[in-house]
Amino acid sequence: MAKRFIPFALHQAAELFLAILLIVVGIHTSGPSQVFLIVGGAFLVVLAVLSDGPLAAWELLSRRTHRVADWIAIGVLALLPAVPGRTLLSAFLLEGSALALWRLAASTRFEPRPPRARSAPPAPTSSGLPPAADLALRRTARKAGIAAGIIRRRRMRS
């Protein structure tokens, strides 16, 4: 089995790029080839934006389901050039897309990374306040100091 080293976010980005490529070329062709390219690209867009991952718009599909759908898409993209009425350009593009998606699916790490170990709780602050309150206090004091400096410089010019 091939070592899976491509993160899922990169997999989604490559799928979206491939989908946009298919759709754009499909818009500039005519006949049945246009339909095949646009539908293939639209399927890849839907697959990428509905899968559980960093580039998902809605997380409706698990990564395991995404992997299965990838293999289905590879089969469909590889078989579409056999349909009558397609152009040579669309056949090459569909076969190339199937090959690229096959290589991508074979080397993608679909399992999410384990969560990082949490660091130690923040050290108590010198003011005795919780860290968030201390940070807010420091930011407010800094802004007040900047404002006082601006006012002093304006008075010195007058």
Same domain, 78 and 23: yes
**75 vs 99: CA distance, rounded Å:** 10
**11 vs 19: CA distance, rounded Å:** 12
145: which 2 tokens? 């100091």
**22 vs 20: CA distance, rounded Å:** 5
* DSSP character at residue 82: G
Same domain, 86 and 149: no
What residues make up the domain containing 63? 8-106
Same domain, 20 and 90: yes
Residue 142 within any structural domain of the chain: yes
Mean pLDDT of all residues in the chain? 86
Residue 118 within any structural domain of the chain: no
Q: Give mean pLDDT, residues 135-151.
A: 89
Query: Residue 123: its pLDDT value, please?
Result: 67
Same domain, 96 and 135: no
Report the C-alpha dihedral over residues 83, 66, 97, 74, rounded to 10 degrees. -40
Same domain, 31 and 59: yes
Same domain, 98 and 141: no
What φ, ψ does residue 47 adopt, rounded to 5°? -60, -40
pLDDT (tens digit, 9 = 90+) per residue, 94-109? 899 999 999 999 998 8
Among residues 77, 93, 79, the alpha carbon closest in space to that of 40 is found at 77
Q: pLDDT higher for 114 or 56?
A: 56
Q: Give mean pLDDT, residues 120-128.
A: 68
pLDDT (tens digit, 9 = 90+) per residue, 51-69? 888 888 888 888 899 999 9
Residue 3 within any structural domain of the chain: no
Query: Residue 130: its pLDDT value, please?
Result: 79
Report the C-alpha dihedral over residues 40, 45, 51, 53, rounded to 10 degrees. 130
Percentage of the chain beyond pLDDT 90 is 39
Report the C-alpha dihedral over residues 127, 133, 137, 142, rounded to 10 degrees. 110
pLDDT (tens digit, 9 = 90+) per residue, 3-40? 678 898 899 999 999 999 999 999 998 888 888 889 88
Same domain, 156 and 91: no
Same domain, 95 and 131: no
Same domain, 132 and 100: no
Per-residue pLDDT for 122 more than 70?
no
Domain count, the chain: 2
Same domain, 69 and 131: no
Residue 1 within any structural domain of the chain: no
Same domain, 83 and 131: no
